[in-house]
Structure 1
Amino acid sequence: MTQTVVITGASAGIGRATARLYAGRGADVVLIARGRAGLEAAAEEVAALGGRPLVQVADVADPEQVDAAATAATELFGPLDVWINCAFSTVFAPFEEITPEEYRRATEVTYLGFVNGTRAALERMLPLDRGTIVQVGSALGERAVPLQSVYCGAKHAVNGFTSSLRTELRHRGSNVHVTIAQLPAVNTPQFSWVSSRLPRHPQPVPPIYQPEVAARGIAHAADHPRRKQYYVGATTLATIWANRMAPALLDRYLARTGFDSQQTDRRPSGEHNLHEPADGVQGTDHGAHGVFDGVSHRWSLEAALARHPAAVASVLAVGVAAAARAGLAGRHATAPRRGPLALVRR
């Protein structure tokens, strides 16, 4: 059965990689973003990979534009199966250097954009009592880092909003599901077009993963939405648990290392997409990958294991059984022989 999948932020980065993945499944893929050049290129890829694309130029900060895109999707493809909120915008800078207007704009996109997308999806999913919403989250939604107060604040808000919504859906016994895919550092074009006041070019904190790793995690969350969240990448899980176990120690560590680790040796480009799409002026398609291909991982062992829990459980069970047999055999081999009198005296 063909799925209808809506992806916000689909013109580049993680959204673009996720669109390619669903196209390979033969899905109908609704591509939402502000930049037409990236959307048109994404649509060509979706069609080439076997999916049917629908381009919708929209700013997710505007609820009316998001609702109009959702209406266009249902009119062409029918009921929505999956809605993936992925669009965002942010500012790399110390908090006091970010203007109130910049903070408002980035929050409207990165947090309220998820709220607007979720509302548009629910209005169409709830009457049919079916569908899945996936919020693309981040390890930074639980463990904040310096220089990213806008992004971290918005991702924390997404977590709280989604948890509240999930309990409401459970209360009404709804078959509409909402889940979060918590992602690690990913090699996307955002680091070349993000608004930044840093002296050097921003970078994700290593280790860095390719957007295809994130896309596989997002699709897995959509396929198995009963879990409230999925951690993609071992670093995501490690960061979250380290913050829960030793937050004060992590504060001191990030205060010491978090500034340099988020900057390269290059000068920043000076261009940004906070108010206008990065491909809006020159019509440039930025694709899914950023400039860190040489140091980015194309797969994650933890994420792969998380997608196949039954296989992992089977392997562990076989290993435990084999270890038990080996231990039993070892005890029999080393146990002293007992004569008949020993058995009688027992």
Structure 2
Amino acid sequence: MTGRVVAVTGASGGVGRATALEFARHGDRVALLARGVRGLEGAARQVREAGGTALIVPTDMAETDQVEAAVRRIEEELGPIDVWVNVAFTSVFARFEEISAAEFRHATEVSYLGYVYATMAVLQPMRRRNAGTIVQVGSALAYRGIPLQSVYCGAKHAIQGFHESLRCELLHEKSPISVTMVQLPALNTPQFSWVLSRLPDRAQPVPPIYQPEVAARAIRFAADHPRRREYWVGSSTVATLVANALVPGVLDRYLGWKGVSSQQTGEPRDPEQPANLWEPADDESGRDFGTHGDFDSRARSRSVQQWVAHRYPQLAVAAAATIAGSAVVATRAAGRGRRS
């Protein structure tokens, strides 16, 4: 599916930017929403180079009036929104007791309520047209909490519950509007260079690490096939969610033992590292952070699990055909044996 109007929040960097580029490569018109103008300008330039149409819409996702205005502007300038992708977030890397109430509240407003506000705003025109798709970008941490990320895990758990509730309501109404959720693994994004951190060492994604393009391909696939309730991306996500369903207490103890050290590189954190909790880090630092973080040498650009998950109906048909063919051959061989 191409030529759609697609809105992506958090599009100034990381997964949001990679997602915008993925849609652009398929000829879509892409609205780019985020706070940081420098990052948005860089993303818009790449979208146009990739063959898409870009519209920059500076928006603070924690402000309902800005979100509603963004929806109106996109529909006026690009046309009816076909796909809305919620990605934007901010967070704090720290032990829970080191996070202030104001920090926790604001991060939750952006990372959870931003999804809610955007979904509220875009559902109105989608309901009038009886068409549209909303993709909520989640994480394995929507099911499994880990140390040092109580803000992020809390928001992702909340999004998961919100998504399921909304999906049930739309199914009850027999609405043609689709909502789906994509659960991501650890990714090599700039968040580890700009999230407010109080860790003694540099933060890192927990290996295995995937490139943000892996997530972007999964998000576009979900937008193209939105009737599935959610998608799991990466073998580590599958392993985490299955283990958490079967032995959550064991994971509690394991993460209590290894979860803190595995999220730090062992190198001292730069005390001058920018933080994007209150202000966009790209505007504050004068730097366009781009799509990738600092872990290119350790990040995977492909996921076998994703390839299989996106093709399991075809693979199931092929497997069934192979089994049926083998059965026919065996039956014929047995028949020849009896005649002889």
**What TM-score, normalized by structure 1, do the two folds share?**
0.93
Displacement after TM superposition at 1:104 (Å): 0.4
Q: 1:291 to 1:332 in 2, by over 3 A?
A: farther
Indicate the SS of the match to 1:137: strand
Indicate the SS of the match to 1:265: strand
Question: How is 1:268-283 mapped onto 2 (pairs within 5 angstroms)?
Answer: 268-269=269-270, 270-283=273-286
Higher-Rg structure is: 1
- 1:301-328 per-position Cα deviation (integer Å, ceiling 9, x unaligned): 0101111123311332244346657877
Indicate the SS of the match to 1:225: coil
Give the whole-Å Cα distance in 1 for the aligned partners of 2:95 and 2:330. 58
Match of 1:183 in 2: 184
Amino acid at match of 2:312: P
Displacement after TM superposition at 1:222 (Å): 0.7
Displacement after TM superposition at 1:338 (Å): 11
Match of 1:291 in 2: 294
Match of 1:83 in 2: 84
Does residue 39 of structure 2 align to residue 38 of structure 1?
A: yes
Give the whole-Å Cα distance in 2 for the aligned partners of 1:124 and 1:285. 33
Indicate the SS of the match to 1:264: strand
Give the whole-Å Cα distance in 2 for the aligned partners of 1:169 and 1:321. 39
Give the whole-Å Cα distance in 1 for the aligned partners of 2:219 and 2:249. 31
Amino acid at match of 2:77: L
Give the whole-Å Cα distance in 2 for the aligned partners of 1:181 and 1:171. 22
Give the whole-Å Cα distance in 1 for the aligned partners of 2:237 and 2:332. 41
Which segments of 5 or more consecutive residues in structure 1 lack a partner in the other structure? 340-346
Match of 2:64 in 1: 63
RMSD after superposition: 1.9
Q: 1:265 to 1:330 in 2, by over 3 A?
A: farther
Does residue 129 of structure 2 align to residue 128 of structure 1?
A: yes
Which segments of 5 or more consecutive residues in structure 2 lack a partner in the other structure? none
- 1:46-102 per-position Cα deviation (integer Å, ceiling 9, x unaligned): 111111100011110001111111111000111110000000000011111100011
Match of 1:309 in 2: 312
Contact 1:192–1:268 (8 Å) recurs in 2: no
Amino acid at match of 2:290: G
Match of 1:108 in 2: 109
Match of 1:344 in 2: none
- 1:273-294 per-position Cα deviation (integer Å, ceiling 9, x unaligned): 0001011124311111000000
Match of 2:98 in 1: 97
**Mean Cα deviation higher: 273-282 or 306-315:** 306-315
Aligned residues: 337
Give the whole-Å Cα distance in 2 for the aligned partners of 1:295 and 1:126. 44
Indicate the SS of the match to 2:284: coil
- 1:231-290 per-position Cα deviation (integer Å, ceiling 9, x unaligned): 011111111110000011111111100000000022223321000101112431111100
Contact 2:67–2:121 (8 Å) recurs in 1: yes
Q: 1:206 to 1:330 in 2, by over 3 A?
A: farther
Match of 1:222 in 2: 223
Q: 1:195 to 1:304 in 2, by over 3 A?
A: same
Match of 2:214 in 1: 213
Displacement after TM superposition at 1:331 (Å): 8.0
Displacement after TM superposition at 1:330 (Å): 9.3
**Mean Cα deviation higher: 112-121 or 262-271:** 262-271
Match of 1:193 in 2: 194
Give the whole-Å Cα distance in 2 for the aligned partners of 1:329 and 1:252. 56
Does residue 26 of structure 2 align to residue 22 of structure 1?
A: no
Contact 1:189–1:290 (8 Å) recurs in 2: yes
Match of 2:260 in 1: 259
Amino acid at match of 2:181: I
Give the whole-Å Cα distance in 2 for the aligned partners of 1:92 and 1:282. 19
**What TM-score, normalized by structure 2, do the two folds share?**
0.94
**Mean Cα deviation higher: 166-175 or 216-225:** 166-175
Displacement after TM superposition at 1:173 (Å): 1.8
Amino acid at match of 1:284: R
Displacement after TM superposition at 1:332 (Å): 9.0
Contact 2:274–2:285 (8 Å) recurs in 1: no
Give the whole-Å Cα distance in 2 for the aligned partners of 1:158 and 1:174. 21
Contact 1:30–1:53 (8 Å) recurs in 2: yes
Taking only the aligned residue pairs, the percentage that are identical comes to: 52
Give the whole-Å Cα distance in 2 for the aligned partners of 1:153 and 1:100. 14
Indicate the SS of the match to 2:203: coil
